[in-house]
Structure 1
Amino acid sequence: MNVDSARIERSPFSQATVSSPKPVVTDYEARKKVLQKGFSPEAVPPNLDAIVIGSGLGGLSVAVVLAKAGKWVLVLEQHSKAGGCCHTFQEKGFEFDTGLHYVGQMHKTGMTRVIMDQLTDGQLDWVKLEDPYDFITLGDKEYQMVSGKKAFVEQLERQFPEEKEAIKEYMRLSKLVVRHTPLVAILKMIPFWLSTFLIRRGIVHWISPVFRLLHTSHSKITEQLTTNQDLRAVFGYLFYGVTPKNSSFYVNALMIHHYKRGAWYPRGGASEIPFHMIPIIERSGGALLTRARVSQILVSETGAAIGVSVQKGPNSAVKIYAPVVISDAGIFNTFEKMVPPHIRSKPEIQTILNLVQHSMGCFLVFVGLRGTKEELGLKSSSYWIYKHNNLDSMMAKYAALPREEVINNLDMMFVTFPSAKDPTYQQRHPGHSCMTIFTMARYDWFEGWSGGRARNRGADYDAFKMEIAHQLLEVVLAKFPQLRDKVDYMEAASPLSHQYYLATPLGDTFGTDPDLRRFDPLVMATIRAKTPIPNLYLTGQDVFSFGVIGAVHGGLICASAVLGRILYLDLALLKKKLKTEGHKKET
């Protein structure tokens, strides 16, 4: 299936496939049949049109779209469970998420909702979280974020009454970013020579100011808007491992806008997302197989991708062929580990690798609590806790710490209660609740134990990891003292955990580092779904942007490249149709 033969005349999207969500499937064996279908050569479908490496949302999204276009797609997942950061795990009667905490813009007929309904046939029931959906602690002060286009701004103005002009201007720039984001995506879809011509001649800046905002520091813009350090921090409170002074204003403004209408969570937990995407792939003749580690991308004598080699034991491999290979394994895994050395050394591949670097890893603490949401006084809200309001200095200091100083300098964290967000949690885990604490972490703090095996890296590793976990927990318990005697279970995940379970090279939580350089227009145009290797495509976070929805858009951009069709036009038409129908029903 080359691009020309893959072109389709009709949109793969249709509201006819979307139906009301069915009750959450709680039977473990039924879920296992979907999410944990192990690899065997016999399970590989014949006459494949495409192979997708990795079942994160980038891989699943492109696979579903291709399946809806009538293609036979095989998704190969190295872990025992499908879903990437959307997989969940259970321990001691508790269930924990591993990556998805909440999603914005899930209101009816919103573009993100339309996309997710199409990718799941409408089977995800999105639960809106209570207001305030986010609490932001800056030292001894606390700020709140509430949902609603007007209410969001009004709440900010109530908290910063002297900063109405700054807030107004930030919202204006945020709206501009959202409206012009399709132009950024187009840079990755039009011919590369045209993108580079428009960028190098400065024409893109005449087309839209969004291209200037792409590679302008968030701190630089906010410092021009206000001298209020608390407000600057609130504008950039959603941390992702990059200081505000080295992050793109475009990205931060996009995230703030993403949650302006509020935050949502899938009923039944994060694993509901892959659980409802995989059957769509299977209905079209495809499959998703787990425990299938791709060791190499196979190439022809002419240098085109023709399939993959799946490791089947220490000395054997299974070769699977398809006319299109799509990697959701990330730029570094794909180009540094999977393609043959003679391909890897090509200047065009090295150029891409030299444009980006690994993102910072993260550290997660999973806490099991005895009691229900009501008994423990838990909210579905999330909490961002900072020791003070200068995020630039705080994050820069933290990122430069030697390992021995980490434990005494845990100055920022994110706290969420998945069990309080999911109305079905008590049905599935009665009398139990859970909490997740998240902060950033450098890989080299843990690298000395990388040679060990998961769950068996040694007592010193466990001691270091759990000491960090306990320090983070103490900060949280000071905020929620009613939980102090309710902790029944605690485990922690370091960048080594992510390296093992998600096959990220250095525990890179957000793929390539989402710093200013990453969002330079020329870099954005260069890193695209279509790679310099014929028939090999990239999907996921590295294609467009990081995070859950960033990965989904990476999948849509990739599917557009493979199918030779700008799928966003199809989605825009569908969204307009749904909105019109909604207005007719109201009248």
Structure 2
Amino acid sequence: MSLAGSEAAAAAAEAAAAAAAEEAAAAEAAEEAAEEYDVVVVGSGLGGLSAGALSAKYGHKVLVCEAHYIAGGCAHAFERGGYTFDSGPSLWSGCAAPSTNPLRQVLDAVGESPEWVQYGGWNMYTPEAPAGFYAAAGDMGEWRRTMARLGDGERTVGQWDRLLEFIEPLQRAVLAVPPIALRADVGAVLTAGPYMGAMADPRIGLIGAMADPRIGLRAYLLSGTWSAVLEAAGVTDPWLRNWFDFLAFAFSGLPSDGTVAAAMVYMLAELHADGARMDYPLGGSGAVVEALVRGLRKHGGELRLRSAVEQILVDEADGRCTGVRLVGGRVVHARRAVISNAPVWQTAALLPPAARAAVRATGSAPLDASTPPTPSFVHLHLGIRSDGLSEQALSSWEKLTQPQSAAFVSVPSLLDPSLAPEGRAVIHAYLPATEPYEVWEGLTRGSAEYERLKARISQLRAAPLYAAIERFIPDVRARVDVELVGSPLTHERFLRRHRGTYGPELSAADSAFPGARTAVDGLLTCGDSCWPGIGVPAVAGSGIAAAHAVTGAGAQRELLREMRERGTLLPA
């Protein structure tokens, strides 16, 4: 063959190969363009994973898209220098065994759970008890003695007992129906109906609870603020009011006058029931995330990491949400719904301009980008030579919601030594929902000036955390192997939290929490931007609500029957 012929043959082969490559690329693009799921979840926080795993359990084809390289959102865990750190939750309860806790009910529904260890309470440091006291869970005798010592003796204890008597019928009403039996449509007759008093013992049914004449007079309080309940019960003792402000703030980022009463009624039932214990997942919060991911995948769902959503797609003709477009251009269609686990501000920003305008016109709360955020956090993650003892510290009652006033300190390696190398301990300390974003605003990442300012600000803002730890480990600074300071900018960058916020400042005093459904047909929300609000049980509950919004009551009823037969549904 001549040289010219060889060149022609080579050119022809190259052209054929190029054509084949183009054809393959076109086929791949077509396949990607045709990619369809029943449900697409934006974000893999506990709410998104709960919604995704439960939807998959119901038989839906589910895809969870996560921008980060680690699943879990604010509950993810990470490793540095041989230590495993929790990024968020440090207080867990109602999770070690079947219970009415929404997270536990999701785990039981999908048949997965981490291993749990339990402990009896935590230490606190307050103005009345600078040497600290033990906040016992589930031991009312010990707790009454503590209240009498720190408060006004029998007056404090008497008001506590009067409050428990006042809320007892409210607790029965709140606990009468399993969270996983709830739904927001007429199908609730099928799923929650058996709990309306038709059970063998009507005293455990909702009708039995509501038949209590005290409920009729007090039921309205459940949708109001916790402070309104305290006032109605005649709780005026300063120590008790401070204690409840602490619990409410730890739960929701707001004090008693902004925290929904139903959540606090539930929390007290969980913390102070006879024999109640606190829980901690072996492996840290990441083990809870892994259990939810296992549940998602076991039932056919998919999780894609490093898959940021660029836009939530809305059909211009009928205004229905049809799917998402990922960064890079891939389109994923959702036949039934898109469930956004992103905070309200990010969800609103992901909508096309026309849809945003329509949402603004309706004033739809779940997508209202004008919703005020709560302040942010400062986290201090330490790996130290082990000598730590305590789990909680609080510096001042009076300034509970002020910047740098309340410090939470946990030492999870006391419960799970695998979180740290031998002879070492993990400490997670944080200032919760009190850190102003403005202190950090305007720092440009990556510059030398940024690093200098960050180091100086971090040292100043982390000082109260070190002070809290030094109460029980005076030489902690000399013991440090690993030190990591997380700021509002850390929350903003890695967790995609608007201004690094803990969550939306939706006060029970002046607003109703929005539900899962939005003004955009086919777009649902879950997480802390909708009902029931901020906190681990709450966001899991929001995931349940979102999953049930795309699932028929018949399938839900079948799941309840299955869980009841396995002995994992409470109340049964």
TM-score category, normalised to shorter length: 0.7 to 0.9
Aligned to 1:266: 281
Q: Which runs of 5+ in 1 are unaligned?
A: 1-39, 192-204, 400-409, 583-587
1:173 deviates by 4.5
Distance 1:363 1:124 in 2: 28
Which one of 420, 432, 435 corresponds to residue 424 of structure 2? 432
Aligned to 1:85: 74
1:188 deviates by 7.4
1:140 deviates by 3.9
Q: What pairs with 1:31-110 in structure 2 (closer than 5 Å)?
A: 46-110=35-99
Distance 2:461 2:552 in 1: 49
Q: What pairs with 1:102-501 in structure 2 (closer than 5 Å)?
A: 102-112=91-101, 114-118=104-108, 121-129=111-119, 131-141=120-130, 142-148=132-138, 150-151=140-141, 154-155=144-145, 159=149, 160=151, 161-162=153-154, 163-181=156-174, 189-190=184-185, 209-216=218-225, 218=227, 221=230, 225-238=234-247, 239-240=249-250, 241-260=253-272, 261-300=276-315, 301-312=317-328, 317-323=329-335, 324-335=337-348, 337-346=349-358, 347=360, 349-352=362-365, 353=368, 356-371=371-386, 376-378=387-389, 382-387=391-396, 389-390=397-398, 394-395=399-400, 398=402, 410-426=404-420, 429-439=421-431, 440-449=434-443, 451-453=444-446, 457-481=450-474, 483-501=476-494
For the Cα contact (< 8 Å) 1:117–1:124, is it kept in 2?
no
Aligned to 2:6: none
Aligned to 2:198: none
Pick closer, same or farther for the CA change 1:154–1:59 going to 2, 3 Å.
Answer: same
Pick closer, same or farther for the CA change 1:498–1:540 going to 2, 3 Å.
Answer: same
Code of the aligned partner of 2:80: E
1:123 deviates by 3.3
Q: What's the CA shift string for 1:157-195, capped at 9, x where partnerless?
A: 55454123211122234544443337998997148xxxx
Pick closer, same or farther for the CA change 1:218–1:574 going to 2, 3 Å.
Answer: farther
Pick closer, same or farther for the CA change 1:262–1:155 going to 2, 3 Å.
Answer: farther
> 1:272 is paired with a residue of what secondary structure?
helix
Pick closer, same or farther for the CA change 1:121–1:351 going to 2, 3 Å.
Answer: closer
Q: What pairs with 1:489-528 in structure 2 (closer than 5 Å)?
A: 489-509=482-502, 511-517=503-509, 520=511, 523-524=512-513, 527-528=514-515
For the Cα contact (< 8 Å) 2:182–2:545, is it kept in 1?
no
For the Cα contact (< 8 Å) 1:45–1:285, is it kept in 2?
no
For the Cα contact (< 8 Å) 2:69–2:305, is it kept in 1?
yes
Aligned to 1:550: 538
For the Cα contact (< 8 Å) 1:247–1:515, is it kept in 2?
yes
For the Cα contact (< 8 Å) 1:93–1:432, is it kept in 2?
no
> 2:294 is paired with a residue of what secondary structure?
helix
1:351 deviates by 3.9
Pick closer, same or farther for the CA change 1:251–1:123 going to 2, 3 Å.
Answer: closer
Pick closer, same or farther for the CA change 1:454–1:495 going to 2, 3 Å.
Answer: farther
For the Cα contact (< 8 Å) 2:96–2:117, is it kept in 1?
no
Q: What's the CA shift string for 1:39-61, capped at 9, x where partnerless?
A: x9999995411110000011100
Distance 1:87 1:47 in 2: 28
For the Cα contact (< 8 Å) 2:125–2:393, is it kept in 1?
yes
Q: What pairs with 1:545-584 in structure 2 (closer than 5 Å)?
A: 545-565=533-553
> 1:128 is paired with a residue of what secondary structure?
strand
Q: What's the CA shift string for 1:380-414, capped at 9, x where partnerless?
A: xx213122x33xxx145x25xxxxxxxxxx33211
Pick closer, same or farther for the CA change 1:114–1:461 going to 2, 3 Å.
Answer: closer
Code of the aligned partner of 2:419: Y
1:361 deviates by 1.2
Aligned to 2:7: none
Pick closer, same or farther for the CA change 1:208–1:182 going to 2, 3 Å.
Answer: farther
Length-normalised TM-score, structure 1: 0.75
Pick closer, same or farther for the CA change 1:581–1:564 going to 2, 3 Å.
Answer: closer
Distance 1:175 1:83 in 2: 35
> 1:322 is paired with a residue of what secondary structure?
strand
For the Cα contact (< 8 Å) 2:469–2:476, is it kept in 1?
no
Distance 1:578 1:210 in 2: 33
Code of the aligned partner of 2:325: S
Q: What's the CA shift string for 1:429-472, capped at 9, x where partnerless?
A: 222211111112121221122x4259993311221122221342
Distance 2:376 2:536 in 1: 16
Distance 1:61 1:456 in 2: 41
Length-normalised TM-score, structure 2: 0.77
1:367 deviates by 1.4
Distance 2:554 2:499 in 1: 34
> 1:271 is paired with a residue of what secondary structure?
helix
For the Cα contact (< 8 Å) 1:325–1:537, is it kept in 2?
yes
Code of the aligned partner of 2:527: G
> 1:458 is paired with a residue of what secondary structure?
helix
Q: Which runs of 5+ in 2 are unaligned?
A: 1-28, 187-213
Pick closer, same or farther for the CA change 1:487–1:332 going to 2, 3 Å.
Answer: same
Code of the aligned partner of 1:211: Y
For the Cα contact (< 8 Å) 1:124–1:273, is it kept in 2?
yes
Code of the aligned partner of 1:473: Y
RMSD over equivalenced CA pairs, Å: 3.5
Distance 2:39 2:339 in 1: 7
Aligned length: 495
Structure 1 range deviating more: 263-272 or 132-141: 132-141
